Structure 1
Amino acid sequence: MKRSIVNEIIRESDAFMRSFGFVMPPFAYLTPEALKARVASDGAMIRDHMMGWDITDYGQGDFDNLGLFLFTLRNGTAANVARGMGPLYAEKLLISEENQLSPMHHHIYKTEDIINRGGATLVLQLYTRTEDGVLDDTAPVEVMTDGQMRTLKAGEHLALAPGESVTLEPWHWHAFWGEGGKVLIGEVSNVNDDRTDNIFHQPIGRFSQIEEDEAPLHLLVSDYDSWL
C-alpha cells in the first residue's frame, strides 16, 4: 500500500469513529517523531504492546476488496497472563467497508467478542475446526450471540445489526465483511498478539507492505520495529 493511501484511510477512519462518539487516545495523534520521543521516555508500552493504528491489505495490494482498518486501544502481554497481573485483555476498534473481506482465519489463544458498534450490517461466515486445527466444512458451529447459544450450519452467514455481538472462541474459523455500507466494529478479547496468533486459511500475510510515497501522518503498529 502507498503511504499516501494509508494516511487518507487514517483521516477517513478517524472521522467515521468520531461520528459514533469514539475518540482515540492522545497517543494516536502523535507525529512519528513525537511518538519516538514518547517511547524513549515513558511510552514503551505503546510499542511493546502494539497499540495504535493498524491498516492491512493482508499483503495482497487490494485493500478495497481484501482489507481491514483496526486501532488497538489497549493490550496486555503473555507475561501478564503468566503472572496473572497487569492487563489481561485487549480492546480494538475496527472498520469493515462494504463487501471488504477480512479473510478466513482463527486464533490459537484469543477469545474475542465482536460487536457491531454502528453503521451497516456486519456479516460473518463461520466454521468450526478439527482437533488438529483444520477447517471443518461439514460440522455445525455452536456460537454465543449476546448470551444466547446458537447452532449454525458449516459456512452459514451470521448477520449482526448495530448493537449485536458474537463471541468467537479459538476453534471458530471466521471471515467477515460489511453489508449495505461500512461498519464500526468493537473487539474485546484476552491478550492479543497479531504477530503470532492469526492462522489464515489461505497463505497470506497479516500486515501490509508500505510504499513510502509521502511522510506518514501517524505510524502503524507494523511500522514500530523499523521506526521505533
Structure 2
Amino acid sequence: MSGKRIKLLVRLRKFFCSLADCPRKVFAQSCHPSCKPYARRLLRADQQIQAIGLRVGSKPGARLCHTIGQLVSASTVLRIIRITLIPVVETPRRLGVDDFAFKKGRNYDTLLIDLDQHKPIDVLPDREGKTLEDWLRTHPGVELITRNRSSIYANAITSVCPNATQVADRWHLLKNLFEAVERFLDSQRPAIREAAQFISQQSTIRITTVSLTEMDLPIPATQQLLDNQLGSNQFI
C-alpha cells in the first residue's frame, strides 16, 4: 500500500462434520474473492505484476515491481505472465501480415496485426502459405489485407480470401524503391563522377581577406547592458 509492504493476518474458521459417512470431514470458511487459495498476494497485486510483466518483460518487470514495493523475482513475473489467460480476439476487417525473425536467416514466424486497433492479434509458427491459409479459414470476414511482396502470402490469401483486397504495405514499397534507385545510381557512377568534376571546374570560389581591428568588433552584450545601467543612474 503506497509503496509499503503490508502483511495481513486473516483468521478463518474450520468446521468438522460428525457424520461417519461424510466424504468430506473438514470444511473451511471461504476467503474474500480478492484472495486466492494458498496465495501469498492479493489478486490486485498479481494484476499489477501481470500488467508490468506483459509490457516490459520478466527482468525489467521485476526491477519496476521493486520500486512500488512488490519484492518479486523475474521468475515470479514470468510465471504470472505464462498463466495469463489469452483473450478471445475477434476477426478484424483489416489485417496486416508480415514475417519476422527470431534469429535472422534461421527461424521466421508470421505476425498478424489488427490494423483498426493497431495491435498484434496472433503469431503463426512459420511463414508458410499453408499455415496462413488455415488461420484465414478459421477466421472468415477479412476484407483488406496488407502484406509484403512475397508470393507465398499472396497465393495463400488469393486461395482462401479471393474477394479480399490485397495491399502492398508502404514500408516494403519504399524499401523496394530505395533498392531500385540505389542499383540505378551504382550503374551511373562514371556519369555522376564526370558531372561532379564538370561542376567543380565551372564553379570558382573567391576568397576575400579582410583585416579587422579591435575597434571594428561589436560590443559584447554584457558591456552594452553595463553601459545602459550606468547611463540610467547618471540620469537619475
After TM superposition, the score normalised by the length of structure 1 is 0.21
After TM superposition, the score normalised by the length of structure 2 is 0.20
* Higher RCO (CA-CA < 8 Å; seq separation 6+): 1
Between Structure 1 and Structure 2, the one with more helix by share is 2
